[in-house]
Amino acid sequence: MPPHRPRRRHALAAALLTATLAWTGVAGADPGPAPASGAGTNLLVVGLDRRSGLTREEIDRLHVGGKECGCTDVMMLVHIAADGRRLSVVSLPRDSYVPFAPHDHPAHSGKINGAFAHGGADLAVRTVERATGVRVDHYLEADFRQFEAAVDQLGGAEVCTDTPLADENSGLELTAGTHDLDGRGALRYARARHVFPPGDLGRVRRQQKLLLGMLARLSDAKLFRNPVATARTARALLAHVRTDGRTDAATLVSLAWSMRELTPERTEFATVPIVDFDHRVPDWGSTLLWDEPRARQMFAALRADRPLAPPGGRTDGPVAVGTLPSETQVTVDDSRIAEGLRASGFAVTETPARATRPAGPTVVTYDPERARYAPSLAAALPGARLRPVAGSGPVFRVVVGSEDRGVRQVTYDRSMVEGAPVTGDRLRCPRPATENG
């Protein structure tokens, strides 16, 4: 483990339990020289793609067949504010292309998940520190079996989805709605990559939602305010996790008390900004290339113990959308609206204007088969009502209403759509009306 660095006990405890909730388990590492420590406490939490020791029955039950890579499958930087009142989680996608820290090979770069395979926990920690400039105070890791057991012990996790999710590779099958997942279901949910949105960004956002679901469940049950229940949970957790020599049941109880004021509104989740989703590199194949200016800004916020998300969710400039506007064909019956949509890159065809605008908001009619493009057009037409109609064809039909609110400029930025900083209250499942008051 890294050498002990004195911290506020409560902040450290909160960080350790939070990471335990995410993937559980601790392994030793000696990161060596590292960036100067800032305010708060930082943890590197990783989940390993490792099947060693699993029986055939366990592999089938957990749906983790295939060849293990001996690499990290999940990487999260968890930051606990110095005052213990804010939790920030930044996911580092496993295919991120970064320079490796010095080790027993000539200097080179590679996928960040390969650092563990090249040099174990030590190299993984030092590579993350080098890439982010954030000092890692504690390193935690777990494999598939440990994760399943910990989630079951904590009583599962609540997740929700607007559409059905099915991924043959991970074994995930969820209908639309809210679900209570046990450890096995949580593992399948966390590992799914072949559901919308596909790839690493959608996957890490689901992992963040899963972590939030576990934290929210414990908070809603007021576990952190009940000393007896907290002690019972701490003892149960220690039966399933490996920890460093400074973490025992008393530590977990102390950290739970420190988290008593932590609410979804005081948690925030983000993915390091990506500028290229298919950066081809010999020997490594397709990789993700970080948007260096925005990544530096994000990690500077962690070092300075500042929030990742702008106050009130404020953003400057065009609204980010997750599909290229040029891929969306649109017909519009208003020349002003057509001109505004063209300015953002939409493929627009004008139709004759109506003598009188229909009462109400602008209406966008489209085929459900094109639903993935609808959010981008909706972002450009504030207040517009989306109307899916089967068999409408590939073109979105825009009928401008009397309550038209004009056009808002949008820009394609998949990274910000799928991984922008967001507070936990916006990520968690909707509360029933009785809970919302």
Does residue 7 surpass a pLDDT of 70?
A: no
Average pLDDT over residues 347-360: 93
Does residue 22 surpass a pLDDT of 80?
A: no
> CA of 419: how far to CAs of 20, 90, 92, 321, 414, in Å?
23, 9, 10, 12, 8
The pLDDT, as a whole number, for residue 25 is 33
DSSP helix/strand/coil, 187? helix
The pLDDT, as a whole number, for residue 337 is 96
- Say which range, 35-44, 247-256, 342-351, has the weakest mean pLDDT: 247-256
15 vs 351, which has greater pLDDT? 351
The pLDDT, as a whole number, for residue 255 is 61
Cβ–Cβ under 8 Å, residues 390 and 366 = no
How far is the C-alpha of 16 from the C-alpha of 6, rounded, in Å? 14
How far is the C-alpha of 125 from the C-alpha of 142, rounded, in Å? 15
Residue where the block lists tokens 């963040």: 208
Average pLDDT over residues 347-371: 94
Tens digits of per-residue pLDDT, 41-100?
Answer: 888 888 888 787 888 888 888 888 877 787 888 899 989 888 878 889 999 999 999 999
Tens digits of per-residue pLDDT, 261-310?
Answer: 777 888 999 999 999 999 999 999 999 999 999 999 999 999 999 999 76
Instruction: Tabulate helix, strand, coil % of the chain (nearest 5).
Output: 35, 25, 40
Does residue 139 surpass a pLDDT of 90?
A: no
How far is the C-alpha of 14 from the C-alpha of 17, rounded, in Å? 5
pLDDT confidence band for 147 (50 / 70 / 90): confident
Mean pLDDT over each residue of the chain, to the nearest integer: 82
The pLDDT, as a whole number, for residue 89 is 94
Sequence-ordered strand ranges (E) for 60-167: 72-80, 87-91, 97-99, 109-111, 138-142, 157-161, 165-167
Average pLDDT over residues 133-148: 83
Average pLDDT over residues 334-349: 96
The pLDDT, as a whole number, for residue 3 is 39
Does residue 437 surpass a pLDDT of 60?
A: no
The pLDDT, as a whole number, for residue 8 is 34
Does residue 21 surpass a pLDDT of 80?
A: no
Q: Helices then strands (H, E): number in the chain?
A: 14, 21
Looking at the domain covering 9-316+419-436, what would its CATH class be? alpha beta
Tens digits of per-residue pLDDT, 313-338?
Answer: 455 568 889 899 999 999 999 999 99
356 vs 227, which has greater pLDDT? 356
pLDDT confidence band for 36 (50 / 70 / 90): low
Cβ–Cβ under 8 Å, residues 66 and 59 = no
Does residue 28 surpass a pLDDT of 60?
A: no
> CA of 319: how far to CAs of 308, 310, 315, 328, 422, in Å?
18, 14, 8, 16, 15
- Say which range, 1-5, 40-44, 58-62, 359-363, has the weakest mean pLDDT: 1-5
pTM of the predicted model, to two decimals? 0.78
* For the chain, domain boundaries: 9-316+419-436, 323-412
206 vs 435, which has greater pLDDT? 206
Cβ–Cβ under 8 Å, residues 344 and 409 = yes
* 431-93-265 Cα angle (round to 5): 30
